[in-house]
Chains A and B, each alone.
Chain A
Amino acid sequence: MYGDTSIQKPIEIAEPTSEEQARLAEIFQQKIDDGIKIEPQDWMPDAYRKTLVRQMSQHAHSEVIGMQPEGNWITRAPSLRRKVILLAKVQDEGGHGLYIYSGAETLGTSRAEMIEQLQTGRAKYSSIFNYPALTWADMGTIGWLVDGAAITNQVALSRCSYGPYSRAMIRICKEESFHQRQGYELLLTLSRGTQEQKDMLQESVNRFWWPSLMMFGPNDSDSPHSAQSMKWKIKRKSNDQLRQEFVDATVPQAEFLGITLPDPDLKWNEERGHYDYGEIDWQEFNNVVKGNGPCNKQRIANHIKAHEDGAWVREAAAAYAEKQQRKNVA
């Protein structure tokens, strides 16, 4: 998912090398336990810093790569109203990426470094963006399901122990609500349209339902490294807890749309007070994470191309700034 790194090898926690280090580590954990936020200049264990850089950069990359499937439809929006909405949403995703890069830079890793890691495949991003947006209905489904899943995750992250990450999440959550609502409204419009439009809606949801559930990451039983993130309060709820929240919120919305979700095992469990759902195809998930999804190569190639095509702008702006500075000095 956006900020889930539990599929990756955990960052090892070094034993304290001195009494002073052990004392600092103890104070650090006490602050976390007491609900006091950690700020950039505060002492923090190396592994906490590294875990955050990994998670935040992965999250920022997801926002930025997430601009591609939707950006693909801007010129084909069916009305000016839908076009301005889509433009605003894609711009928001870029903005969200920047908020999180800005937060991650407070940990001492530069944005240029993080972007290099993305482009060379050393950093990951949410696997959901490796699926193509094939129809106009996908613009609605992405807003409703993908942003819906992202909100579930990000609301929890807004209580994260690292101040800059938590503040970025609060900002983002305020804006994500627009993303989900515009998507659902788009789908509602299709659901009241022609049979062809209804079919397009159902087909789109069929494709995005399972990948959206995968956004929350592996089952808790297969996510042994999450415990440390929970202890540090980087993660506030487990993958399965968040996934269940999302399913419970989404099923009634699907019923209201008059569509079905592609899971024969999906049913209300009176005893648990939750919806039961079927087994996720983790083989597909792992395959996409490994780079073999439908769009992995294209997404990164586009990112690199945009970055390289913009090089002359960056150079020109830097040269201009330097010239102005020289003028001011003279």
Chain B
Amino acid sequence: MTKETKISENEWPLWEVFIRSKAGLDHKHCGSIHASDAEMALESARDVYTRRSEGISIWVVPSNAITASKPEDKESLFEPADDKIYRHPTFYDIPKGAGKM
């Protein structure tokens, strides 16, 4: 998402677009858009990404405002969770007699 984009002088800044497809669901990243300001980014995102009722709400965020984790940090960030199987409900044996739990 954060990318090293060479922005030429006259190119409008890049915004990341997130869309909530219906009430009750999260906003989901769907692409990016070039726009001079936030208002234009919203309007353009509407035209580009919701021409067929794909959304009921849009977020636009300046691409350079996003801090992303690095793929090479994947192990140190996420692997510690892998051996903590006791955090999952299936780790525990509950006899059938105890009923649904």
Contacts and interface: CB of A to CB of B under 8 A. Distances in A.
A84 B4 CA distance: 39
Given A103-B31, A317-B40, A95 B71 contact: no
Interface in A94-143: 95, 98-99, 102-103, 105-106, 108-113
Interface string B9-51: 0111010000000000000001111101100100000011001
A17 to B, nearest CB: 19
A113 B8 contact: yes
A113 B9 CA distance: 11
Contact of A43 (B8, B37, B71): B71
B4 A108 contact: yes
A138 B70 CA distance: 49
B6 interface: yes
B81 interface: no
Secondary structure at the B interface, as helix, strand, loop or mixed, is: loop
B5 interface: yes
Nearest to B69: A41
A324 interface: yes
Interface in B54-101: 68, 70-71
A171 B10 CA distance: 29
Interface size range of chain A in the complex: 20 to 34
17 contacts: A41-B68, A92-B51, A95-B48, A98-B48, A99-B31, A105-B32, A106-B3, A108-B4, A110-B5, A110-B7, A113-B6, A314-B10, A317-B12, A317-B40, A318-B36, A320-B36, A321-B40
A41 B72 CA distance: 9
Interface residues of B, number: 27
Contacts of B40: 317, 321
Contacts of A315: 10
Contact of A98 (B6, B8, B11, B33): B33
B51 to A, nearest CB: 6
Nearest to B68: A41
A110 B36 contact: no
A111 B1 contact: no
Contacts of A108: 3-6
B32 A102 contact: yes
Interface string A67-111: 000000000000000000000100110010011001101101111
B20 to A, nearest CB: 17
A318 B12 contact: yes
Contact of A102 (B4, B12, B31): B31
B66 to A, nearest CB: 11
Contacts of B14: 105
Pick the 7 closest A-B CB pairs, nearest first: A317-B36, A321-B37, A321-B36, A112-B8, A102-B31, A102-B32, A112-B11
A324 B48 contact: no
B37 A99 contact: no
Contacts of A88: 51
B9 to A, nearest CB: 9
B7 A314 contact: no
A175 B48 CA distance: 12
Contacts of B1: 40, 106
A43 B71 CA distance: 8
A88 B7 CA distance: 31
A196 interface: no
A102 B33 contact: yes
A65 interface: no
Given A42-B71, A99-B31, A111 B11 contact: yes
A111 B36 contact: no
A52 B84 CA distance: 39
A193 B61 CA distance: 52
A167 B32 CA distance: 13
A103 B52 CA distance: 20
Contacts of B36: 314, 317-318, 320-321
